[in-house]
Structure 1
């Protein structure tokens, strides 16, 4: 009698593998192949022998996973498989930092060579060429998977480093730089150069990452260390390694957009870079008042505009570096400079007002240059000196200024 119907369709039978004997022998040999691969690495790869036991154990697991993944891939070559996950998913993310891409390639190559040397033993009679061809294709796939793993790790590190760098740059610019910022900078490769300055300007339109990379290329060419970032419409560069802020700004000016570029004064370290950043920011704000300002320009060359724009540090610097030294050098220098500036920079006019010979005025003005570093005969310097005299007199009249 026929069997009664159950109402359920028969389950589709799994097709038999065309190389069942080879697959079975491959499964049985996977453990010994992994052990041989690890032994070969220990013999031929010095960096593997020098690694701590924990990392060596993870590499062993990756080798075992690679052989197991090949076995599964040989079983179902047409099935979609994530080889990078199957092989490298067993290892922690930190392993990509401990082992370089070159070392990983050597590890994979060694494992493939061990598997290739065992083909004649593992393959069933007549399947040697089939297994060898499968291993060649798998080697290509594992190479792509390796590249993918390290590319993803590099992207993750790049994103994290960019965020870390942005935090450091923002801390310096906002005046909140502390030891934490120094530690973050050190993690980014900042080697604490002796001379540090901050350069500010307008960021170009477009991808900020391209701008940052352009700054890094310029810095490498100029042999400078940099921490950089785009904050709003500003491009900020903290540069270290040279004691000439104007030369630093000139070497990095290419990626900046049109408009003023201001370099702050040189300071000894990253913690003090806040002072350079504040000076550069004040100079960038006041630069519109000096239409003929050079590009780039030093923040210290913008002291009079910064002082007029209510920058307290610029006012203090003008008083302490110009007015007080002149005051200490004697009343004659202050009086002569004041009269000379009031007389439209005329030696003869100043001499008449002071009842002295023009040569005396000339000598005193040279002394002013020696004391302050600013020449009264230069139009721009004369403007700076005039502002310094005004601020000094105001400070003498009101100690709070």
Structure 2
């Protein structure tokens, strides 16, 4: 390839002093004026140049041949418009007509989705080379150098215009994707379950089929412009999918397919602002993630009642505080997951636990109260841990168990006899 073609394929730096803010050539350009003969030859050769260019696109760009007919036609029209606009620009380099509107104005917006910027620049390079090869025939004598320089200058303008088109398209897509993501997060928080939500979930590119967790906390006081991108990079190490929502002072993360929950929650909690960070229980799908979100927000409201809570803390670890703050979901969970299994297990587990907690966590006092050996008390307390997952020998977990007993008794007393949990010794 001649040296001139190499130059044509490489746009000049953006900091060039001869480029205005909009990329058009200033009126003070030192480009020699075009002669009438050269302009006439250029106008008469537009059709032939367009045909030659389209043939070169077919032969030199394999991806161009694989495009759909409508995409190929649109790109061919861009190439033809570029050649026709060059003639006008060559006649009046300081023309106010902006090449972005003139060349790319007829191209559908969908092209920026199917054609990458790299391919668009490859197309520009082929068009410029096709025109440059004909410079000798188009210009006569002294006009050849001027015409060749004009081709190089014009290629720079078109390259800048292409970059501008793709930058604007990227900004538009980014803004729309952000709004769509915010709608999905808001729908999850409100518990919306509809076909519209499912279509939005598909539109944001969510792929995880299960293991969904919602994590909430305060947002940083002054987040940087790259804050959301930083969250996405950090979450991508642990989760398959992430939705980010910022609602005022609250930061919401919807995480799907988490591989290592312990490390993930600790690492991501560092990106939240000051204060508690709470993650909800795991949901089976994104549509069902509203229960995880509601539990997380209820835990966030009640977390201040437990000054020693870890950061982050599970919403289920805050069951007692959530019950005291009026959370019915926590009350139902304590009854369902602790009280009912404990009563159904029988063997005096609920009575032993109740006595142990009311007698100051004393094994000997509990044994005397129940007329059993202290080892029997130890065995039953171990069984309580096996049945409920909470260890009564640990102060915090004993508090959870005691709250579950209180809640369970109140719920059982308020229900008809046939709905109460069965009791057996």
Per the normalisation by structure 2, the TM-score is 0.87
What's the CA shift string for 1:283-311, capped at 9, x where partnerless?
10110111110001111111111111111
Map 1:50-61 to 2 at 5 A. Answer: 50-61=66-77
Q: Which residue of 2 aligns with 1:13?
A: none
Q: Which residue of 2 aligns with 1:330?
A: 346
Is it true that 1:292 corresponds to 2:308 in the alignment? yes
Q: Which residue of 2 aligns with 1:124?
A: 140
Identify the range of structure 1 (119-128 vs 214-223) with the bigger mean alpha-carbon deviation: 214-223
Structure 1 distance, partners of 2:201, 2:121, is 31
Q: Which residue of 2 aligns with 1:12?
A: none
Q: Which residue of 2 aligns with 1:77?
A: 93
Give the C-alpha shift of residue 27 in structure 1: 1.1
SS in 2 for 1:159: helix
Structure 2 distance, partners of 1:251, 1:178, is 33
Is it true that 1:154 corresponds to 2:170 in the alignment? yes
Per the normalisation by structure 1, the TM-score is 0.93
Q: Which runs of 5+ in 1 are unaligned?
A: 1-15
Give the C-alpha shift of residue 312 in structure 1: 1.1
Map 1:24-103 to 2 at 5 A. Answer: 24-103=40-119
Is it true that 1:257 corresponds to 2:273 in the alignment? yes
Q: Which residue of 1 aligns with 2:359?
A: 343
What's the CA shift string for 1:102-151, capped at 9, x where partnerless?
11111111101101111111112221111111111111111111110000
Structure 1 distance, partners of 2:412, 2:347, is 14
**What is the RMSD computed on CA atoms of the aligned residues?**
1.7
Is it true that 1:248 corresponds to 2:264 in the alignment? yes
Q: Which residue of 2 aligns with 1:191?
A: 207
Change (3 A) 1:174 1:260: same
Structure 1 distance, partners of 2:260, 2:340, is 26
Identify the range of structure 1 (172-181 vs 122-131) with the bigger mean alpha-carbon deviation: 172-181
Structure 1 distance, partners of 2:88, 2:250, is 54
SS in 2 for 1:222: coil
Structure 2 distance, partners of 1:326, 1:80, is 82
Size of the aligned set, in residue pairs, is 386
Identify the range of structure 1 (307-316 vs 377-386) with the bigger mean alpha-carbon deviation: 307-316
Structure 1 distance, partners of 2:47, 2:314, is 68
Whether the aligned pair in 1 keeps the contact of 2:235 and 2:268 (CA below 8 Å) is yes
SS in 2 for 1:266: coil
Structure 1 distance, partners of 2:313, 2:361, is 26
Whether the aligned pair in 2 keeps the contact of 1:245 and 1:298 (CA below 8 Å) is no
Is it true that 1:365 corresponds to 2:381 in the alignment? yes
Identify the range of structure 1 (235-244 vs 346-355) with the bigger mean alpha-carbon deviation: 235-244
What's the CA shift string for 1:373-401, capped at 9, x where partnerless?
10000001000000000011001110299
Q: Which residue of 2 aligns with 1:175?
A: 191
Whether the aligned pair in 2 keeps the contact of 1:246 and 1:298 (CA below 8 Å) is no
SS in 2 for 1:192: coil
Give the C-alpha shift of residue 177 in structure 1: 3.8
